[in-house]
Structure 1
Amino acid sequence: MLARGAETVTLAACDAADRDALAALLAGIPADRPLTAVVHAAGVLDDGLVATLTGDRLDAVLRPKADAALNLHELTRGLDLSEFVLFSSVAATLGSAGQGNYAAANAFLDALAQRRAAAGLPATAIAWGPWADSGMASGMDERGRGRMARSGLVSFRAEEGLALFDAARTGEDAVAVPVRFDTTAPATGPDPAGEVPAVLRGLVRRTVRRTAREAVAAEGADALRERLGALSDPERDGVLLDLVRTQVAAVLGIGGPRDVDRNREFKQLGFDSLTSVELRNRLNAATGLRLPATLVFDNPTPVALAERIRLDLVPDPAPGASALAVFGELDRLETALAAVGADDDLVRSRIRARLHGVLAALGEGTAADGSGGGSSPDEASDERLRSATVDDIFALIDQELDGA
């Protein structure tokens, strides 16, 4: 600042969210060098799902933004200021995954600027997009940067930011949103509409050419169910596993589905609460299901998750009427057996013998002519169970008892 012509520079620190401390600092400004401009640039991040945001976590983010800005507004309202600049964030305008507290804090700054402007006071809230080498976005990890890129947001360099700062301060609007977009980036993903904030979806151009995997994700639940119904079990499992791995790769920002180990736990792959919800949302869009937020915790690997989705989309067939009747009789039999006295050894022995006989009959794989019948024991058992009536079951029991 001295190099730019300032005669002296005084640095003074206080907690601007502490009204008394801020009032004392402002009172110490010399009368011959009065305060003429305010730039509020504070910010704290504490990302997390809304359900995890405790009062303390909300206060940690809202206090330096909202409380400090309100104190500055009230304590300088009577001064002859030329500028009152608030550093807001595009998160308040577009929303940002896991940043409900941060978005709310910056929305307060936008509203405060508009209120000041309506009262004839100087005010500009600058809802910054990401900066490449500084600012909040510079501390993002690789997953966060990938998520931001998929949304179409592009970071700008420091010199661009400074030029935008000057342009926002000289503009007529109380809230300015300096941000850069790549409108083609979201359209290359497997779920273009799901990546882009709702207020900007009219800007996204969907690509005409799509890969087979992207086409599967865009089919919709009915078409996907129809397609799965025409496949064999192994083919169906392969399609759903490929779908899961494709979405996992997109969320993690890695090369493709083949780079996702089908048996590796999501936690080991690098998933956290935010990416878990993002994966759930993508799979909801791809399948038409309403999957729970705990999806990756309940199904900890891609292959387990694919199986869960299969059961939702193509449930196992219900047993037939004859099998249901047998199951009902077995339920009644269990109830009757429970009433048999524990000390009646003779009766219990005879019951065991008869039940063993029934199991042996159901497990028999020999045809009526004594040949193998061309069926495996399991197949023969299944067929006998399907065709047996309740009377047949009890006849078998009597037959085995007589044979004993």
Structure 2
Amino acid sequence: GGERPVDLLFVTAGAQAVTPEERPTASHAAAGALLKSLREELPWLRGIHLDLSGGSAGDRAAAVLAEAAGFPADTEVARREGLRYVRRLAPLPDSAPRTAPDPADGFHLVSGGLGGVGSEVAAHLLKEPGTRLLLIGRTGLPPEDTWERHLADAGPASSRIEAFRRLRGLGDVRYETADVTDTAQVRAAVRRAADAWGVPLVSVLHLAGAFDERPVRELTPREWREALAAKVDGAWALHRVAAGHPVTSFVTFSSVNGFFGGAMNAAYSAANAALDDLALRRRREGLPGQSLAWSMWRERGMSLGYQLTSLTEARGYRVLDAQAALRSFDLARTLDLPHLLIGADRTAPWVRSHVLAPVRQVRRTAARVVLDEGTDLGALYGAAARAAGPEGTFVLRSAGSADRSEDTGGADELRRLESELAAVWCTVLGRDRVGRDENFFDLGGNSLLLVAAQTAVNKALGCELGVVDLFSRPTVRALARHLSQQGAAAAPRDAASGPVPDAPAPPPSGLERAKQQAERQRSARGARRSAQQRKDRRHG
């Protein structure tokens, strides 16, 4: 819990499926998502999940030492036959492999089917004529002759009653009380439905889950297990039950947190990573399996009443309307792929930094040279050539004139602002240097450090920068331009002299304008609070 950075190297054998022949071991399926979540919550902890396979003991020891000696920028790493692999997202190809489930006369099992998202999916499925749905849930419905009273009282059962009545009006639906984590209870519910309908189970959709948003340090071992039970134990129970039936579709509803992790969501992230792993395992065993990792359904299920949707979207997790989500669901079921992220915006910097991209050359500035009028460019070129040596290469680019004319004032102000921001980022990230085009998240930043950077920037510049601004502009250059356009450029630190006596006062600098704007906003808020207090006293 101190300020000193700690590197945690978590080593496993065969936990990641790198080659098509490998089958991941389920016991460590959630390690990557957990370590990513811990990075978000505990900035001093930098974790890596290193997976090894094959080779001698000496080879494995060398791989561990090599990984431990590097800077832990990547969280999920695998080493195979001397090669180092890093887990990345791959864009969906234009000609993605397609599939169509064999039409079978049977029924679908939906866990969590009376929840906000579950009821939408169930209603969508019932649009297909002849569909039969078995919904299972841990909490039973009250006797039907008491439903009107429950609805009038708006008690805890009212939402489930309304959902079931709606679904029953759309098609052939059964509801069975069964704990999805209990294989025996699920198997009994499936048997009763098969006997009643006279057809077998042919499809499984697993939507049940729990969302416990709080710091990982506050979770006791028992609470941790409870947070994982519905998703993880439930998925494995359904996996075992499906083995005894002609199931042609097995779909789990996961979350983007299963890949990216998330502060305050460590258990939730780990549970979803386990669902992604199960789908891959089933596919490797020749069974149907698909995990759909969602961003967020607008005002449905766990997102109902969520207050940070703008921050979620700034990070690149789109908030999907129900109809858009259902269209994505229909498309996903036709794709012959075991793991799909739905609603992750590849144009957002945070998501884009995790997407596989062609290798590109990385350059950094070695020096800056300002040329006075009359400088011998040939002599400069010769000096650079001698310094580069016979095998070196260099490029001279014009970075502007040394003429300090009035039209360069904006560029000078922008460079000062970039320096201010780079200094703040160095402090927040604990680095000696930050390039103006380096991504905050690539440098080890996370959502908690981003909040710290927001506070530090606002204090240094006297502005009111939002977290969303930093999420959408994660480089010093982009953020400096944004702040400059907002009138928050840094004031010069080394003005040569003050104004000439009796000269008109100079216009306020960008920094002064930002401070004045912030002061006006604070004054306006204070005036509104005072007016509200006077109003409350009059009506008190």
The TM-score with structure 2 as length reference comes to 0.38
TM-score (norm. length: structure 1): 0.49
Larger proportion of helix: 1
Asked which structure has the greater CA Rg, the reply is 1
The structure with higher relative contact order (CA 8 Å, sep 6+) is: 2
